[in-house]
Structure 1
Amino acid sequence: MNKNKQHIDEQILLSILNQKASEQDAETFEKWMASHPENKAVFDKMRKIWEKSSEIEVFDKIDVAADWKLVKSKSGASVKSRKLKVFMRYAASIVLLMGLSFVLLYQTTPGFGKLAQQKTEINKDQVLLADGTQVYLNERSRLVYPNQFGSKKRNVKLEGEAYFQVKSDPSKPFIITSGNAIIEVLGTAFNVRNDEYGRTIVTVQSGKVSLTDQKTKKVVYLTKGEKGILHDSNLTESENDEPNFDAWKTGILRFNKTPIPVVFKYIEDYYGVKITNRCERIDTLTFNSIFDNDDIKDVISELELHLNVKTVKRGKHLIVSERNN
C-alpha cells in the first residue's frame, strides 16, 4: 500500500455526500483528496453512485435515526460499548455500499434492471421499443435501451449500424448516443452507422434529425435525402450520394451508371465476400442493374454476362479475370 495514501473516516465521506459536513470534516476531506490522486477518482465514483441512488424511491423511505433508536431499545439502555459502535459503523458502511452497488447495477447494467440490450453477431434483428419505435439492427451491432422511457426524453445507445423508424412524440425527443455523436429526433426514419474508419454516418430518409459532436458541441440539421458525417470532431453535411445505404435492411442493391469498383465494394459489403479484380479493362466501365434479394450466384452470372469476364469463387473470395474467348 502507498504510505502517502491517507485513510479517511467513512462518516466524513457520507457527510460530504449529504452536504452536511462540518468545517473540520470538510478540511479533513480536502486534505484527503489532495493526499493521493487515487482518492479523487474513488470519491468521484462514490459521488456518481450516490447521485444515481437518489432516483430510487426505496432509499427515500430509510429512516436512519429511527432504525438506530430501535436497535438501542432492543439491545438495552447500556448499548454504549465502543466495540459495538465501531461494529455498527462498519456494518452501516457495508450496507450502504451494497445498496449503492445495487443501484449502480440497476441503473447501468443492461438486462439487470431498467436497461435492456439487443446484440447481433452474424445475423440481423429487429427491436420494438416501448414507445412504438422500430429499430432494425445490422450484423455485429448492439442497442442498449430502457424497458420504459422516462417522462422527458427517450435515450438509447448504439454500437454498429441500425435503421430507426422513430414513433413521433413532439414532447419527448428521441436521442441516440453513437460513438462521439448525439442524434436527436422527434419522429422520423433514418440510418446510423459506425464504420471501420471511426466515422458516424447519419442518413435521413424522412423527417428531420440533428447530429451533434459531444466534444465540440457542433451541430448540423439533416432533412430527407441528406447525410451527416462525424469523424475526429469534423462534422459535415451533404446530399446523400449512397443509393444503397440501407441495402443491408431492404436487400435491394441499385446501380445506375455506377463505376465497377464501386459496384464491387457494395457487393463485398452486402454479401460478405472479398473481390479481387484481375481485369483492369473493366475498371473504367459502369454498371446498370437492380438486385432485389438475389442470391450471389445470380449476381455473379449477371456481372459475367455484362462485363464479359469469368469469375472463380473460392469460399468467400471472388476472383474476376478476363474471359478467354
Structure 2
Amino acid sequence: MDTYIYEIIAKQLSFTSTPEEDAILREWREASPENEADFQKAGKIWQDAQPHHLPRQKQFDTAAAWAKVDQVLQQPVVSAKTVRLPVIKLVAAAVLLIALTAGAWWIASRPSLKVQELAANDGKIRTLELADKSVITLRPGARIKYSEGAERVVTLEGEAFFDVATDPRRPFLVKTPNQSVVEVLGTSFSVKTADAHTTVIVASGKVRLGMENDTSSVILTSGQKGTWGNGELSAVNNDDPNFMAWKTGILQFNDQSLVEILPQLTDFYGKVIRIEDGYQATAAQQKATISFQNQSCDEVLHELQLLLGFNYKQEGDTIVIGK
C-alpha cells in the first residue's frame, strides 16, 4: 500500500493522476500527520527538481538511479515484521525521486503538454482549434481543460460543440464532472453537462457514451441523443431541431404549442418565462410553425404574440405569459 501511495503522489505532482487516485491520496493524507508530512517532503523533492534546478539538456541516468535502489534492496533484513515497511518506504521514495526528476526534465522539454484551460465566461461563444485540427466551440458559461500531447483528452464543464479530426490511432475523449466519458474517432457532436447529467447529440459520425472505468456504454450515431445520469444510460432519436441554436442563432418550431416553445426560449435566452396558471390550458392548444434568426427575446415574443394572441409582461426578472 505504501508503494502504491507514493506512485499516486508522483502522478499527482506530474498532473497525470485520475480523480479516483486523487481521492485515495486525499484520504491517506488526512489519516495521520505522518502521512501529511511524507506528502510535503515529496512535494519539496518535486519543487527542487523543477526545470530551473536542472540543466536544459540534462539526460536522466536511469541506470545510476536504479543502482541506488538496488543498494537499498541489498541491505540485510533482520526481521520481516520490523523492516518490511521502512524498506518499502525507502524503495518507494527512491522510485518517486526517479519519477519526479525524470518527469521534471521531460515536462520542461515539452511545454505543449501542460494542461491549458479556456472559458467562455464573458457571455460570448469561444472557439478553440487544437493541434490535430479538431475544433471546439464553447457555449457561454462553458469551460474546457486540455493538453496538446499524444493523447486527445479534454475535460468539459457546460456545453460545447465538437468537430473532431479523424485519427483511428488516437481516440478523442471528452470527460465530464459526473465521470462520464464520450469517446470518438472522427465526428461532430454536442455535449452538455448539467447537474449530474451528461447529454450528447450526434450531428455526424459515431460516438460512445459511458462512465469512466466502467464497461457499460451506448453507441450513438448521427441523429441520436444519449444521456447519462443517476446511474442510467439511454439512447433515443433526437427530436430537438434547436439543439444547435446557441451556435447557429436559428430557432425553429414546427407545429409546436406555446407550452413546448417557451422552455426552449428559456434555454436559448437564459430568461425565466412562465405561463399564468389560468392560461395553461389555452397555451397548450396554441401552436405555431415559425423560425427566428439572431433576434432578441422581446422580438421573438412580440412575433409570437401577434401570431397566437397572448399577452406578456415583465415582473422583476420573470416574463409572464397570460391572456
TM norm structure 2: 0.67
Cα deviation digits, residues 103-160 of structure 1 (max 9, x gap): 59x69xxx996121101222221111111001000121111111x231xx31111111
* 1:31-110 equivalence runs, <5 A: 37-38=31-32, 60-61=60-61, 103=104
Q: Hey, what does 1:115 align to over in structure 2? A: 115
Cα distance between partner residues in 1 of 2:38 and 2:180: 29
Give the conservation status (yes or no) of the 8 Å contact 2:127–2:135.
Answer: yes
Instruction: Give the 3-state SS of the residue equivalent to 1:168 in structure 2.
Output: coil
Segments ≥4 residues shifted beyond 4 Å: 39-47, 56-59, 61-65
Identify the structure with bigger relative contact order (alpha carbons < 8 Å, sequence gap 6+). Answer: 2
Q: Hey, what does 2:182 align to over in structure 1? A: 183
Match status 1:140 vs 2:141: yes
Cα distance between partner residues in 2 of 1:228 and 1:286: 28
- Letter paired with 1:118: L
Cα deviation digits, residues 15-73 of structure 1 (max 9, x gap): xx9xxxxxxxxxxxxxxxx9x933668778969x98xx9xx9957248978xx9xxxxx
Cα deviation digits, residues 154-209 of structure 1 (max 9, x gap): 1111111100000111121111111311111111000000124x210010000010
Equivalenced residue count is: 254
Instruction: Give the 3-state SS of the residue equivalent to 1:60 in structure 2.
Output: coil
- Letter paired with 2:293: D
Cα distance between partner residues in 1 of 2:245 and 2:119: 20
Inter-CA distance 190–41: structure 2 relative to 1 (3 Å threshold): farther
5+ residue gaps, structure 1: 1-7, 18-33, 69-91
Give the conservation status (yes or no) of the 8 Å contact 1:199–1:230.
Answer: yes
Q: Hey, what does 1:317 align to over in structure 2? A: 318
Q: Once the two structures are aligned, what percentage of the paired residues are identical?
A: 29
Cα distance between partner residues in 2 of 1:143 and 1:249: 17
Give the conservation status (yes or no) of the 8 Å contact 2:287–2:308.
Answer: no
Q: Hey, what does 1:23 align to over in structure 2? A: none
Larger Rg: 1
- Letter paired with 1:287: A
Please give the root-mean-square deviation of Cα atoms over the aligned residues, in Å. Answer: 4.1
Q: Hey, what does 1:166 align to over in structure 2? A: 164
Match status 1:129 vs 2:134: no
* 1:172-211 equivalence runs, <5 A: 172-179=170-177, 180-196=179-195, 198-211=196-209
Instruction: Give the 3-state SS of the residue equivalent to 1:130 in structure 2.
Output: coil
**Equivalent in 227, 230, 255 of residue 228 of structure 2:** 230
Inter-CA distance 58–237: structure 2 relative to 1 (3 Å threshold): farther
Q: Hey, what does 2:76 align to over in structure 1? A: none
Give the conservation status (yes or no) of the 8 Å contact 1:213–1:235.
Answer: no
Give the conservation status (yes or no) of the 8 Å contact 1:282–1:307.
Answer: no
Match status 1:265 vs 2:266: no
5+ residue gaps, structure 2: 11-27, 69-92
Inter-CA distance 208–42: structure 2 relative to 1 (3 Å threshold): farther
Inter-CA distance 302–113: structure 2 relative to 1 (3 Å threshold): same
